[in-house]
A = this chain, B = another copy of it.
Amino acid sequence: MADRREEIIQAGIEIFAAKGYYNTHIAEIVESVGIAKGTFYLYFNSKNDLFISLIRRFEDIFLELFEIDILVAETEDLKSFFSKLLKKIFSLYKEHKNLSIIILREAVAVNEKFREEFKEMDARRFKRINNLYQFLLDNDYLNQEIDYDYFVCVFVGIMESIVMRRLLLSEQEFNVEEAADKASLYLENAIKK
The interface size bin for chain A is 35 or more
Copies in the complex: 4
Q: Please report A residues at the B interface, Cβ cutoff 8 Å.
A: 19-23, 105-106, 108-112, 115, 119, 122, 143, 145-147, 150, 153-154, 156-162, 165-166, 169, 179, 182-183, 185-187, 189-192
Cβ contact within 8 Å between A166 and B189: no
A-B pairs with lowest CB-CB distance, top 8: A157-B161, A109-B109, A190-B190, A157-B157, A150-B182, A186-B190, A22-B22, A157-B158
- Nearest neighbor of A143 in chain B, beta-carbon distance: B189
Report chain B residues within 8 Å CB of A165: 122, 153, 156
- Nearest neighbor of A155 in chain B, beta-carbon distance: B161
- Nearest neighbor of A170 in chain B, beta-carbon distance: B119
Query: Which of B115, B150, B161, B162 interacts with A186 by CB under 8 Å?
Result: B150
Q: A23-B111, A161-B160 are in contact. Are A183 and B154 (CB under 8 A)?
A: yes
**Separation of A51 and B144 alpha carbons in the complex (Å):** 45
A-B contact pairs, 24 of them (CB 8 A): A19-B111, A20-B111, A22-B22, A108-B109, A109-B110, A119-B169, A146-B185, A150-B162, A150-B179, A150-B186, A154-B161, A154-B162, A154-B186, A156-B161, A157-B158, A157-B159, A157-B160, A158-B161, A161-B161, A186-B190, A187-B190, A189-B189, A189-B190, A190-B190
